[in-house]
Structure 1
Amino acid sequence: MPGRSPETRRGAVVAGLGSYVPPRALTNAELCGNRPVGDEWIRTRIGVASRRVADGEATVDLAVRAGRGALEAAGAGGADALVLTTISPDRLVPAGAPEVAARLGCGTIPAFDLASGCSGFLYGLGVASSMIVSGAFDSVLLVASDVFSAFVDPDDWLMAAIFGDGAGAVLLRAGDTDEPGALGPVDLGTDGAQADLLEVPGDGARARKRTLAAPGAEFSPYFRMDGPAVRKQAIVGMCDSVTRAVQQAGWSLGELDAVVAHQANQRILDGLAAELGLDPGRMLSHIEAYGNTATASVPVLLAQATAAGALRPGMRVALTAYGAGLAWGSATLVWPDVRAVTDDG
């Protein structure tokens, strides 16, 4: 960028944030009905009191509203490229990102989808940052959107208790690595040997081929996971990833002012704070009111915390997520003086 000193390097800087959650709040009481296990159990074991559920809206619809908020917050009319991260695409083909770009009035810019489980937003940050640092683009709109309620078995009340729908977005612009809002190195990793711990086994090529080979064979279109097997790994995995990202930033864990982690489960968030040796108050959370919004949980929380003043300029912040793949990611930044446009339905 013009005016950069010899000591600084080109970086990707947070310029604006947006979020959208559907208006319908599904409470524990409504979800559980007359079941003996109800509100108190869900609050205690998962930390969720209600979650937002999309009625008549799809993943792209939510993405457009969050993306528009991020552009408005940044005072930008568009972006040079758009990345959509999701694990609940509206269609297998085509990708949803070009439609999001068109509906936002961004024209024929490069736009593509990225799928990496609930860590997709962190992977998206790594990809979008690289696109800017390389000099190929001056701005990238990164949107994370999930209508994961569409992939939850309606007869599985426990899965329905965990997940909610929502979308979050961030506009990244070219800037200097030493200015507030510049992303530090992004720590990413996977363990594909445990891919079957969290999955939607139906609708893909593997399931379709099996059905063709054995007509009448059944496959599930719904999400399933081995919760106990994932829980401990998620805590340790995010702790290790955050530690690496913080070290690459030249910080210590004690210098962190806030951690924004994937809102998987309040017990996981509490365990992560303990593992990192941080006061629980530094671990931001909105899972009680919104549940686990999958890929969107980190950017939705970022936008809401910014709008509410919980994230303030100058704070040292770590972002982290862990999910299907298995895949994980973390990043750091000094929080900038930035706007967020939030739409709570």
Structure 2
Amino acid sequence: MRIDSIAFRTPSRMISNEDILRYIRDYNQSQNREELESYCRKIERLFRRAGAQSRYVRDMGAGERAFDLLRDAARSAIADAGLVPRDIDLVIYCGIGRGFLEPANATFLVSALGIECDAFDITEACMSWARALQVAQGFLLTRSYARILIVNAEFSVYENGYPEIFKMRTDAEIAYTFPALTIGEAATATVVTLSPDAWKFRFRTRPQFASLCNLPLPGFRDFCLPDTKVGANGVHQLVAYSSELTQTASREMTSFVKAAYPDVSGIDIWFPHSSSESALKIMATRLGVGDRLYDKVFRKFGNLASASIPAAMCEATKEGSLERGMRVVLCPASAGMVFGLMEGIY
């Protein structure tokens, strides 16, 4: 499989850490002033510890729409691959952000591109884009499709966050609420085609940690065993136990990589899912890969969910860190929890 092109789009409204702190102060004006300032200092320390600096969200007042950014990314990726929309014979929509439970979100993009081709959705939290690559390669190898477009539209801060996430929380609540303050928004589009070089996909699933990160829908209690961690912030609100997630991800991914790659010197660059820059730096040191583990997305764009790796690949290409012919490993950790290693030639 060859990744022919990747396009990355963010909305226009940049939100800094200082903006978030201002929103918290505005939202909690009725609270005790000293307690509010103490709370803001805690959040500020957590931002510094994670490495968060900014994130981009839609300018709703200006009419900015997720679908417009998605369509623009798709058109750009198709053109960059030297194709026109009618050359695409399958569209896979993946990720967390979506406007519909039915029909497949992919069908709306296909219609907007003015084409008729097969289209469906894949959802596996922050692993969605990587899993879509695996599915796409399977189709390419069987010659079911020749040119596949993989897209995601990770836009959810208004639908599943703002303004409720600005509410003052107890220390216990901060433990599973803070990560929502680092979420950014983005759309990506990727064109893949068949090549002699097949990618290798490996996954490890640890379902005993599924409740550590969840974003529940109405009626969710009918679809899982009772668990106080699930839905702790209510429906349509992210719950992410950051400390436990980081510790588990670091332990499991380090073990996974060391088992798969006794010698890491043959890999030119590693792309993780970026939910904390500081955690990634620690993992890079433990694995002995140093600055070959790309960690520059989170500080600027925040946690982009399933869009974080394609966004990172775009940014790395722009700055010259990623070039054609490099041996690449994608190494996302996702809610579930699921850990992935995808190796191929870029």
TM-score by length of structure 2 reads 0.81
The match for 1:299 among 297, 300, 310 is 310
The match for 1:151 among 152, 160, 180 is 160
What displacement does 1:91 show?
A: 1.7
Aligned twin of 2:189:
169
The match for 2:236 among 212, 217, 221 is 221
CA distance in 1: counterparts of 2:194 and 2:83, whole angstroms = 13
1:142 aligned partner, one-letter code: I
Q: For 1:230-249, what aligned pairs fall within 5 Å after superposition?
A: 230-243=245-258, 246=261
1:203-229 superposed Cα distances (whole Å, 9 cap, x missing partner): 3554699xxxxxxxx942211111111
Any stretches of 5+ residues in structure 2 without a counterpart?
26-36, 167-177, 225-232
Q: For 1:42-61, what aligned pairs fall within 5 Å after superposition?
A: 42-56=46-60, 57-61=64-68
Percent of aligned positions with the same letter in both sequences?
Answer: 24
Secondary structure of 1:283 counterpart: coil
Aligned twin of 1:75:
82
CA distance in 2: counterparts of 1:240 and 1:82, whole angstroms = 34
Secondary structure of 2:110 counterpart: helix
Matched, 1:285 2:296: yes
Any stretches of 5+ residues in structure 1 without a counterpart?
1-11, 178-182, 210-217, 336-345
Contact 2:270 2:292 in 1 (8 A): no
Matched, 1:18 2:7: yes
What displacement does 1:308 show?
A: 2.6
CA distance in 2: counterparts of 1:62 and 1:246, whole angstroms = 38
Residue range with higher mean Cα deviation, 312-321 or 50-59: 50-59
Secondary structure of 2:195 counterpart: strand
Matched, 1:138 2:146: yes
Contact 1:53 1:164 in 2 (8 A): yes
CA distance in 2: counterparts of 1:257 and 1:208, whole angstroms = 42
2:301 aligned partner, one-letter code: Y
What displacement does 1:28 show?
A: 0.7
Q: How many pairs align?
A: 307
What displacement does 1:322 show?
A: 1.2
**CA RMSD, aligned part only?**
2.5
Contact 1:236 1:275 in 2 (8 A): no
The match for 1:97 among 82, 100, 106 is 106
Secondary structure of 1:121 counterpart: helix
CA distance in 2: counterparts of 1:60 and 1:286, whole angstroms = 22
1:168-209 superposed Cα distances (whole Å, 9 cap, x missing partner): 2210011212xxxxx521112322232211111233554699
What displacement does 1:134 show?
A: 1.4
CA distance in 2: counterparts of 1:134 and 1:128, whole angstroms = 10
2:194 aligned partner, one-letter code: A
Secondary structure of 1:116 counterpart: coil
